[in-house]
């Protein structure tokens, strides 16, 4: 090696060491977030958050960190996880908009048009676009398709009856996931995809989402200059991600075909169906050119809902049923309420949404399942707007990243009582000492909060309120092996596997 090269290497090495030392000193002693506690590595590098996200159990890590440090924990040099229930309205409220961070960029398809409600970071564009379709997602609109949802529940119950008669061990999570996809098929396209009918992962959608979730979540957590590189390398080197992109393409093509077909059907004859596709086609033909709502926007609307709406709803139903199976007293109490309501004629089977929401213990069990196990298990990160903000006694400068993880704030003992980490639906009937139900309700952010609240919330609630009493009335479920527990993977959607059960059909005389 020549002398010049050796000197050059030494200069380079010294520069790198000086840069890293300077960066660490800045992060620890001069950074605006220096006073916020958290893991040392997190305070100087995003490698901590990336590594912990890859482990897919961030909700446990964050709960432990908040228990140790309080409401604010530094999870990256410029990012904070907040668990203060009072901060929900500041961070996610309408008063001053905290924009979504670049975490969401990793999920966006290469698309020059509108990327969908979930991914859009421009609040003005978001509110304009969301206003166009808000009514389509209202509860009254969703309930116009109630019969269609009933047909899905009935098919699921027929399959479950067959399994019960065969005394077969069943992967409950898998069937609930297939059910959730088929309901979206009915609601959006006027017919089930065929997951349950064909007993298969139709078009490979489930596998595709499972493969893409880690890539998007890790890609979004990386420093933004690495996101594209990371995503590109997963496409090049991971056959499952390549396969998943193929399946997503399939969903896109299927959406496009469905829009064309539905348009044609409606032109040919009136079929009396009020699916969401029809409603969106009507908006598009009545005022589409004026408000720029084209067929392209309808494809985006429908296929992004498949991505966002099936796994999340399935995770919620799974958690409600799983915790009931683990808590026989609550399970019996719910069964008694449902049986009494059926006998008195207050609840039909299939259950109507309007009837089901009147059952107090059912409501308590549903709230409690989604509290203890919200379907989204990472912080929903936002940027502090111009002028900064005061949160939990700390001033945050513009541009700091901050978010709340539903799976952390839902465990707050000051809000939900000393037994907040236990499944106890009764807390929703009589609030624990020192707690009150309106505050408990306000702290539930399983569907997000404020202007970016889940647009599909009513779809999911109608599915959950209708399916849970239907299943509880017709079957008795028990875990095949209560000692093993489910397995969970928290890649933004916190998905469960291994809910293996046996069931019996209930006999009524
Ligand atoms: C139990 C079921 C569901 C849960 C727990 C859930 C959860 C969430 C959460 C937490 C957000 C906010 C994300 C953020 O602020 O970063 C969100 C947004 C969203 N969800 Fe859901 N979701 C569910 C079902 C659905 C369904 C069925 C659909 C579609 C049909 C859907 C579509 C969306 C969309 C499009 C957004 C973005 C809304 C916006 O920014 O305007 N979700 N969801």
In a domain, 145, yes or no: no
In a domain, 295, yes or no: no
Contact 347, 354 (CB under 8 A): no
pLDDT of residue 174: 97
Say what the pLDDT of residue 97 is.
Answer: 92
Average pLDDT, the chain: 94
Predicted confidence band of residue 112 (pLDDT cuts 50, 70, 90): low
Domain count, the chain: 1
Q: In terms of Cα–Cα distance, which of 408, 396, 481, 475 is closest to 444?
A: 408
The reported pLDDT for the residue numbered 270 is: 83
Rounded percentage of the chain residues whose pLDDT exceeds 90: 80
How far is ligand 1, taken at its centre, from the CA of residue 459, in Å?
Answer: 10
Domain that holds residue 18: 1-30
> Is 251 within 8 Å of 303 (Cβ atoms)?
yes
The answer to whether residue 14 is domain-embedded is yes
Rounded to an integer, the average pLDDT of 303-312 is 90
288 versus 316: which is more confidently predicted? 316
CA 332, 337, 343, 345 dihedral sign is negative
Confidence of residue 115 (pLDDT cuts 50, 70, 90): confident
Name which residue sits closest to atom 18 of ligand 1, judged by CA: 454
ipTM above 0.90, yes or no: yes
Residue of 308, 315, 496 with the most ligand 1 atoms within 8 Å of its CB, for mutation: 308
- φ and ψ of 262, to 5 deg: -65, -40
Quick one: what percent of the chain has pLDDT higher than 70? 99
**Domain presence at residue 403:** no
- Residues near 123 by beta carbon (within 8 Å), at least 6 away in sequence: 97, 99, 451
Asked whether the predicted pLDDT for residue 343 surpasses 90, the reply is: yes
Answer yes or no: is 339 within a domain: no
Atom of ligand 1 nearest to the CA of 305: 29
Is it the case that residue 109 has pLDDT exceeding 80? no
Residue 255 lies in a domain: no
Instruction: Return the closest-CA partner of residue 297 out of 247, 264, 259.
Output: 259
Q: What beta strand segments (E) does 268-423 contain?
A: 382-383, 389-391, 394-396, 401-404
Ligand 1, residues 176, 255, 275, 312: which to mutate, most atoms within 8 A of Cβ?
312
Lining residues, ligand 1, CB within 6 Å:
117-118, 130, 304-305, 308-309, 312-313, 316, 375-376, 380, 446-448, 452, 454-456, 459-460
**Strand order, beta sheet including 401-404:** 72-76, 79-82, 401-404, 382-383
Q: Whose alpha carbon is nearest atom 6 of ligand 1?
A: 447
Is the residue at 304 inside a domain? no
Residue 271 corresponds to which tokens in the numbers above?
């079929």
Give the least confident one: 69-83, 210-224, 256-270, 414-428. 256-270
Residue 493 and residue 35: Cα distance in Å, rounded?
Answer: 31
At 248-298, the pLDDT tens digits run 787 778 778 888 888 888 888 888 888 898 999 999 988 878 888 988 888
State the pTM of this model.
Answer: 0.96
Give the pairing type, strands 493-497 and 389-391. Answer: unpaired
Distance 303 CA to ligand 1 centre (A): 13
pLDDT tens track for 462-509: 999 999 999 999 999 999 999 999 999 999 999 999 999 999 999 887
Tell me, yes or no, whether 13 lies in a domain: yes
């Amino acid at each position: 090696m020549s002398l010049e090269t050796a000197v050059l290497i030494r200069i380079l090495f010294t520069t790198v060491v000086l840069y890293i030392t300077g960066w660490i000193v800045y992060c620890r002693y001069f950074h605006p977030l220096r006073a916020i506690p958290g893991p040392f590595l997190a305070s100087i590098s995003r490698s901590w958050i990336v590594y912990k996200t890859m482990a897919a159990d961030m909700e446990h890590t964050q709960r432990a960190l908040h228990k140790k440090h309080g409401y604010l924990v530094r999870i990256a040099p410029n990012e904070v996880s907040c668990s203060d229930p009072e901060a929900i309205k500041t961070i996610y409220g309408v008063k001053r908009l905290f924009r979504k961070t670049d975490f969401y960029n990793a999920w966006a398809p290469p698309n020059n048009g509108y990327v969908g409600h979930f991914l859009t970071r421009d609040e003005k564009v978001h509110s304009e676009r969301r206003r166009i379709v808000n009514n389509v997602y209202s509860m009254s609109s969703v309930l116009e398709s109630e019969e269609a949802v009933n047909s899905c529940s009935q098919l699921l119950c027929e399959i479950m009856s067959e399994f019960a008669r065969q005394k077969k061990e069943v992967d409950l999570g898998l069937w609930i996931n297939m059910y959730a996809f088929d309901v979206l098929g009915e609601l959006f396209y006027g017919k089930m995809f065929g997951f349950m009918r064909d007993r298969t992962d139709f078009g490979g959608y489930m596998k595709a989402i499972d493969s893409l979730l880690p890539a998007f979540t890790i890609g979004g957590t990386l420093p933004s200059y690495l996101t594209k590189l990371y995503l590109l390398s997963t496409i090049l080197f991971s056959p499952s991600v390549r396969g998943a992109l193929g399946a997503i393409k399939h969903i896109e093509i299927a959406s496009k075909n469905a829009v064309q077909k539905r348009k044609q059907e409606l032109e040919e004859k009136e079929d009396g169906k009020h699916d969401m596709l029809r409603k969106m086609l009507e908006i598009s033909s009545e005022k589409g050119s004026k408000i720029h709502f084209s067929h392209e926007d309808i494809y985006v609307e429908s296929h992004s809902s498949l991505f966002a709406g099936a796994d999340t709803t399935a995770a919620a139903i799974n958690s409600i049923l799983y915790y009931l199976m683990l808590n026989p007293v609550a399970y019996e109490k719910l069964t008694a309420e449902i049986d009494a309501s059926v006998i008195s004629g207050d609840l039909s089977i299939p259950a109507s949404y309007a009837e089901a929401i009147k059952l107090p213990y059912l409501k308590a069990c549903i709230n409690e399942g989604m509290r203890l196990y919200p379907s989204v298990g990472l912080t929903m990160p936002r940027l502090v707007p111009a002028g900064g903000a005061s949160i939990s006694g700390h001033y945050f400068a513009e541009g700091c990243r901050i978010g709340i993880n539903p799976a952390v704030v839902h465990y707050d003992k000051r809000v939900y009582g000393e037994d907040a980490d236990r499944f106890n639906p009764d807390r929703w009937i009589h609030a624990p000492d020192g707690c009150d139900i309106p505050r408990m309700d306000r702290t539930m952010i399983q569907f997000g909060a404020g202007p970016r609240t889940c647009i599909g919330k009513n779809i999911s609630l109608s599915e959950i309120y209708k399916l849970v009493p239907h299943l509880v009335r017709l079957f008795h479920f028990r875990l095949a092996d209560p000692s093993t527990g489910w397995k969970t993977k928290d890649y933004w959607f916190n998905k469960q596997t291994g809910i293996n059960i046996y069931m019996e059909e209930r006999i009524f005389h």
